[in-house]
Structure 1
Amino acid sequence: MTGLPLVVLIGPTASGKSSLAIRLAELLAARGQPAEIVNADSMLVYRGMNIGTAKPTPDELARVRHHLVDIMDVTKSASVAEFQLMARQAISELRARDIVPILVGGSSLYIRAIVDNFDFPGTDPAIRAKWQAELDRIGAPALHRILAERQPEAAASILPGNGRRIVRALEVIELTGDFRPRLPEPSYALDDVRQFGLRIERSEMDARIAARVDQMWAAGLVDEVRRLVAQGLRSGVTASRGLGYQQVLDYLDGEITEDQAREQTIAGTKRFARKQLGWFTRDPRISWLDALGSGLAETIVDELGFAAGR
């Protein structure tokens, strides 16, 4: 079959995206249309980061093939531009083999970068190294003040503690004279994109997040972080900032108690989930489904036009 859709499943943390993607792929296969999952979560790419990312279990990964999962060491850092390239290549290869790609993620930036016309400014290692050295010398808040002097709009869109984004903004300003903090207007770069979002009440979402973080602690998140520290987690610019991982590192450094690490992880995840919902609700191209509803996979398959008995 030619002209296969790209199915995109989005929604906030703990809304059930991963399990729905697996059910959807299995249902499509049962109706005669193979499907595989393409990960769009920047943390699932890291080997060993399993508990804190709620990574699909080995059984789930075996049931449906997943792409862009467990492909990098925690010391590595993939930019959004690199992720865009890898995801688009995986999607193209699946379609070439008559397999429906199911793109799953919770970040509007990553989803938009993959499916939309989304160009990234180039990079210059020397300029990047210069600003990184300045970050190391004076710290993120002071570097943020420098950014505010050069481009207030860019500084207003970046938290003062986000050193990585501050460095990138200053690099782009030096390269191009401008840094645009806002996402470009929605415009698909890929053919036949079908986006489905999972909607969930805030109280239910908060309860699920708290339960998930408690389960992560019970499953051994602290020990997982200890193992990853031995593999270089602290030097991983992206991996070490993952929700849960950064808080456990602070606990292991004696900066906070373990209870504080867990509570900060819950609070940080709730804030992130609200941001996720805010980003996605502004996109009119998304068809929204009740995350607690029944027969979601069947609903999506029917909307895609894959009838039973194909």
Structure 2
Amino acid sequence: MSDPAAPPLVAVVGPTATGKSDLGLHLAARLGGEVVNADAMQLYRGMDIGTAKLTVAQRHGIPHHLLDVLDITETASVAAYQRATRAVVERLRAAGRAPVLVGGSGLYVQAVLDELEFPGTDPALRAELEAELAARGPAALHARLAALDPDAAAAVLPSNGRRIVRALEIIALTGRPFRARLPARRTPRYDAVQIGVDRPSGPLDERIALRVDRMFAAGLVEETTRLVERGLREGRTASRALGYQQVLAHLDTDGDMAAAAAETTQATRRFVRRQRSWFRRDRRIHWLDAEEPDLPGRALSLVRGAAAVRS
């Protein structure tokens, strides 16, 4: 799928709150490209404040793709995202536009860049497992997963019923371990330039706390309340999004939004550790410190250097 004459495919990845969106915009502007979203929660319409989605004005006229494509009651699918995003990437490159994939959802990024195949679903089996989840709770299903596939159980939180159900479904359908669907050796589909953006933990923790404070000040609680009226609680993926999950919990109990904000900050910091663990395994990523003075220039040099080698 690599055409030396085609514009480069660039991926800007890394933990949350490191400045990926701004860098992606800069690269798209300098390369004559367009941004392609790789944040699973920014797929949802109406989830704007809590996902730090750029407003139309903040996009500075750069087209963005794969934003606002799902209703909050729909379940995000990596396989569906893979199909839709590859179609956008190939259309942009054919038109002479550089796709700039931006986001921190590691599996979504890998699903686009590498040769990954995703097993299908069996509605009857899925319904049976979901009924069991509702009746027995996630811990019981997680114990079964641990017996069938210890590696998968170690990678899936015992409270994450949706992922536990999917893992059990894949094992039943394929007869293979859940983790086997992610090959240890990554086979690239595209000759992409991957740029990782990170910050030291101390400054990043401060940025996360400030970002969460600003989200709550900007109306995250009110946004969540509006989304509840549109079915947020029924959205298996959307209702688990950081910030929204914590606000929902306190709306349903004590209404303590200061506690919701503190829990969001802590949950985001834990999420950052998981993101780092995922992305640091990929040695193809060129890591840059977001605090260095000429971050945009360094990133652009990497892209142009890779393009020169390819040509």
TM-score of the pair, normalised by structure 2: 0.92
3-state secondary structure, aligned to 1:204: helix
Find the partner of 1:16 among 15, 19, 22. 19
Superposed CA deviations along residues 265-287 of structure 1, whole A, max 9, x for unmatched, are 00000000111112111211111
Distance in 2 between residues matched to 1:122 and 1:83, nearest whole Å: 14
Conserved in 2, the CA contact under 8 Å of 1:3 and 1:192? no
User: Which residue of structure 2 lines up, in the alignment, with residue 31 of structure 1?
Assistant: none
- Percent of aligned positions with the same letter in both sequences? 50
Distance in 1 between residues matched to 2:232 and 2:198, nearest whole Å: 34
Q: Return 5+ residue gaps in structure 2 as ranges.
A: none
Conserved in 2, the CA contact under 8 Å of 1:9 and 1:197? yes
Alignment pair present for 1:273 and 2:272: yes
Alignment pair present for 1:298 and 2:297: yes
Q: CA deviation at 1:294?
A: 2.4
Superposed CA deviations along residues 224-272 of structure 1, whole A, max 9, x for unmatched, are 0000000111111100000000100001101672222111100000000
Distance in 1 between residues matched to 2:254 and 2:111, nearest whole Å: 36
Matched to 2:29, the amino acid is E
Change (3 A) 1:177 1:256: farther
Matched to 2:200, the amino acid is E
Conserved in 2, the CA contact under 8 Å of 1:24 and 1:298? no
Distance in 2 between residues matched to 1:144 and 1:289, nearest whole Å: 38
Find the partner of 1:44 among 42, 45, 55. 42
Distance in 2 between residues matched to 1:151 and 1:280, nearest whole Å: 23
User: Which residue of structure 1 lines up, in the alignment, with residue 146 of structure 2?
Assistant: 148
Conserved in 1, the CA contact under 8 Å of 2:149 and 2:178? no
Matched to 1:141, the amino acid is A
3-state secondary structure, aligned to 1:8: strand
3-state secondary structure, aligned to 1:9: strand
Change (3 A) 1:86 1:186: farther
Correspondence 1:146-225 to 2 at 5 A: 146-181=144-179, 183-225=182-224
User: Which residue of structure 2 lines up, in the alignment, with residue 6 of structure 1?
Assistant: 9
Greater shift, 55-64 or 161-170, is seen at: 55-64
Superposed CA deviations along residues 40-95 of structure 1, whole A, max 9, x for unmatched, are 10000111100000001120235210000011111111211111111111101100
Q: CA deviation at 1:5?
A: 1.3
Matched to 2:223, the amino acid is E
Q: CA deviation at 1:150?
A: 2.8
Greater shift, 43-52 or 56-65, is seen at: 56-65
Matched to 2:28, the amino acid is A
Matched to 2:142, the amino acid is H
Aligned residues: 302
Conserved in 2, the CA contact under 8 Å of 1:135 and 1:143? yes
Superposed CA deviations along residues 153-183 of structure 1, whole A, max 9, x for unmatched, are 3222211100001100111111112223263
Q: CA deviation at 1:300?
A: 2.4
Conserved in 1, the CA contact under 8 Å of 2:126 and 2:169? yes
Distance in 1 between residues matched to 2:29 and 2:147, nearest whole Å: 53
3-state secondary structure, aligned to 2:275: helix
Matched to 2:222, the amino acid is D
Q: CA deviation at 1:186?
A: 4.2
User: Which residue of structure 1 lines up, in the alignment, with residue 63 of structure 2?
Assistant: 65
Q: Return 5+ residue gaps in structure 1 as ranges.
A: 29-33
Distance in 2 between residues matched to 1:203 and 1:262, nearest whole Å: 19
